[in-house]
Amino acid sequence: MQDSVKVLLADDHKIFLDGLEELLSKEGGFLVVGKASSGRETLDLLSTCKPDIVVMDISMPDVNGIEATKIIVKNYPDVKVLALSMHLDKGMISGVLQAGARGYILKECSVDEFVRGIKAVTDGQVYLTPKVAAIVLDDYLALKEGNAQAAEHKLTPREMQVLKLLVKGEHTKSIASKLSISKSTVDTHRRNIMEKLDCNNMADLTRYVLREGLIDLDDE
């Protein structure tokens, strides 16, 4: 059993817990070292069970799965947490991932996916069931777009024009000619852009623009 993955199962439905235990015992390569029906019981068992991974239901009494995950990540950094929930809820997903869970799968998943998720998280990877991954990606893209819009709102329309030309590699003289402004005005705009976007040099500025998707470099 030395090579078996030690699993602590946490869910407030006993019949579901028993089903998961039976599933893992049949699969092989896993050892269920504990079962908990509440967040508090999960935390109490950790020191004695010493699991490699906690399969954590989010909606549990006493201490919910999100709060329990925070405590586990803080006090037991070597123990991984895989969230297992029936809820495809954006708030729950972001909450438990921000708390430190390394994966999130749905209770509707297949046995193969359940096992795959445990193995991936135990190995230090992140595992998200496809429906969850789609929500996380949508949130990321919305955040990136929001960051770009927020940055854009810091800059005046003229500063946006100067920024685009700067990142495309245009020199001060060329920018001044294209925008029909003086070179000193271009330099002033450059300083203001750097200050507003908290960048120290052109390398920082270019990385910022690419990271936040602030402008379309292919747009003429």
Specify burial of residue 175 (Cβ count, 10 A radius: 0-12, 13-18, 19+): buried
Q: Does residue 119 fall inside a structural domain?
A: yes
Please write the tens of the pLDDT for every residue from 87-99: 888 888 888 998 9
Domain boundary residue among 135, 164, 199?
A: 135
Whose structure tokens read 């990385």? 207
Cα 63–Cα 67–Cα 73 angle in degrees, nearest 5: 125
Q: Which of 106, 135, 164 is the last residue of a domain?
A: 135
Q: CB–CB of 30/56 below 8 Å? A: no
Range of the domain at 203: 155-212
pLDDT confidence band for 135 (50 / 70 / 90): confident
Whichever domain contains 159, its CATH number is 1.10.10.10
> 219 lies in a domain?
no
Provide the domain count of the chain.
2
Q: 129 and 87, same structural domain?
A: yes
Quick one: pLDDT at residue 167? 83
Residue 150: pLDDT above 60?
Answer: no
How much is the average pLDDT of 208-214? 73
Give the Cα separation of 201 and 137 in Å (integer): 31
CB atoms within 10 A of CB 51: 25
Contact between residue 80 and residue 52 where contact means Cβ atoms under 8 Å apart: yes
pTM of structure: 0.63
